[in-house]
Structure 1
Amino acid sequence: MSGHGASFWPPVWHDPSAERTSKPRQQGLTMVIDKGLGLHSFEDVMNVSADYIDVYKLGFGTSVLYPTSLLQSKIALARMHHVQIMPGGTFFEVACTTESVEHYISIIKSLGFTAIEVSDGSLPISKERRWQAIGLAKEAGLVVYTEFGKKAASFTADLDPLLQTLDEDLRAGADYVIVEARESGNVGVFNCNGETDRSFVRDVQISAGSQASRLIWEAPRKEQQVALLETLGLATNLGNIATNDVLSVETLRRGLRGDTAHRILDERSKATCE
């Protein structure tokens, strides 16, 4: 059981679900998106929330806009707190249309990044180049996150292509596959109003079998987070979580917020009565 207050509060208060595991976690990952925090704000995020963050993404192409010394300070601080850190997938796409994949990997490694996002949401790349990037990144010692989906407003996730991408990317060496929803949360498994297709995500979980635990569902909105945790379980991997929503998501995972607390308490009450 993890958390800054774990030794002070009674354990049952700290995690009513009794399911949350400590880092490094294999399931129940929280992937955070940073749209441009300064160093002091980032320090606050790490000091308050690092126990609950598994991977930290410097969104889009923001990495290249930081002063290099500040960027390296953020990377070093994330590593000190045992948080994986990577540039956004769009930056990978832009960089790899102008330079080789090897050059991109070499640069982010030299800066200290510990993970990479390989995607083609905006700029398509061939499957062969995608798999090559995965393999090269693994050889370089990076944790590899790939992404399924497009950033176009019309993108809706389909079962067979998602399952095929999941299987192929994992075979190529990827650690996890992210299901695209954008930071707006209105594509992929969500409709234009951000509502979750619960039936679809349930079908994905069933059809993917053991590989389902290697999916990360982008879910920037609270109602989406609740829907996915209720449908797929509290150990569901969630991505595109805002920096100021990390503790909020953690309360949902543990049953420390009304949206999930009632379910956990109801299940505990039934178990006691049986």
Structure 2
Amino acid sequence: MSGCPSFLDLPARTVKPRMCGVTHVLDKGLTVAGTEAFLDQAGQLADIVKIGWGIGYVDPTLAQRVRRYTEHGCGVSLGGTLLEICALQNRVRELREWALRSGISHVEVSNGLRALTVDRKRALIRELSADFVVLAETGAKDDTYPSTPDEWAEEMAGDLDAGARWLVAEGRESGTVGIYDRDHGIRSEVITAILRRVPVERVIFEAPEKNQQAWFIRKLGFGANLGNIAPADALSLETLRLGLRADTVPFDTTVEASA
């Protein structure tokens, strides 16, 4: 990392474009100045930036901010909720044309509102993968869908077959639904089922909280793909990846007292 020291022995970190150790950032409406500040400090750590929900549709600075993200090697995705609304209103073609004009490189295909059939979701993945990198999200905005771990894994495997580049396991920004319990705990049985069916390197696990991030890094290694990371948390996540926090230090650093 330019401008940072290099005297410690730390896990090797790949550079962008990364295929593992991906950091997927949730942009909830940064200003142009805020975008610049984030990129100056942590742009080298962010691989994909999602302009959350329908924010891109109402942000007059979207194209300007997308351009700055792209210049820093960050793929930019629209929120899945916006695509779902467009699908329900039969405006996917208009969304595609506007997104391409705005410089958007990625789209999220989700069914968080549970208004799309499985076939419609897969058709959208196939259709949009011709122009964008598709992130297919599994999970809803509550904690009732999919109903079982095997159904989670089945949906993700089908989305991969339909042409999704990335599979996203829903956790929301709250970290209390999808792959998490209402008390923020990890539903490990869902993670196990997912990893039995799809390659771990194709899955981005939404992990907005530090304890959740640390759990995945301990389980999957420093190269775990993690999403829904707040811009302000990108640096702290990197310390977890590099073993610079007690939660993920990979060796015993205790020193015995002299006798």
TM-score by length of 2: 0.91
Shift of 1:200: 4.0
**Residue in 2 that maps onto 1:180:** 170
Partner of 1:259: helix, strand, or coil?
coil
Q: Percent identity?
A: 32
**Residue in 1 that maps onto 2:65:** 74
Residue from 241, 257, 273 that aligns with 2:245 = 257
User: CA, structure 1 residues 245+123, in 2 after alignment: closer, same or farther (shift >3 Å)?
Assistant: same
Query: Does residue 131 of structure 1 match 2:122?
Result: yes
**Residue in 2 that maps onto 1:62:** 55
Query: Does residue 214 of structure 1 match 2:202?
Result: yes
Partner of 2:240: helix, strand, or coil?
helix
- Measured in 1, the distance between the counterparts of 2:173 and 2:86 equals 21
Deviations 1:108-149 (A, max 9, x none): 111110100001101421222222211222212x11101001
- Measured in 1, the distance between the counterparts of 2:181 and 2:143 equals 10
Partner of 1:24: helix, strand, or coil?
coil
**Residue in 1 that maps onto 2:2:** 4
Partner of 2:251: helix, strand, or coil?
helix
- Measured in 2, the distance between the counterparts of 1:74 and 1:157 equals 38
User: CA, structure 1 residues 155+130, in 2 after alignment: closer, same or farther (shift >3 Å)?
Assistant: closer
Question: Which residue type is aligned with residue 135 of structure 2?
Answer: Y
Contact 2:150–2:193, Cα closer than 8 Å, also in 1? no
- Measured in 2, the distance between the counterparts of 1:155 and 1:243 equals 28
**Residue in 2 that maps onto 1:242:** 230
**Residue in 1 that maps onto 2:213:** 225
Partner of 1:216: helix, strand, or coil?
strand
**Residue in 2 that maps onto 1:272:** none
Query: RMSD of the alignment, in Å?
Result: 1.8
- Measured in 1, the distance between the counterparts of 2:173 and 2:244 equals 25
**Residue in 2 that maps onto 1:196:** 186
Gaps of 5+ in 1: 268-274
Shift of 1:82: 0.7
TM-score by length of 1: 0.87
Shift of 1:198: 3.4
Query: Does residue 105 of structure 1 match 2:101?
Result: no
- Measured in 1, the distance between the counterparts of 2:179 and 2:143 equals 12
Deviations 1:157-176 (A, max 9, x none): 63211221221111111001
Residue from 34, 37, 46 that aligns with 1:41 = 34
Contact 1:96–1:104, Cα closer than 8 Å, also in 2? no
Partner of 1:258: helix, strand, or coil?
coil
Gaps of 5+ in 2: 254-259
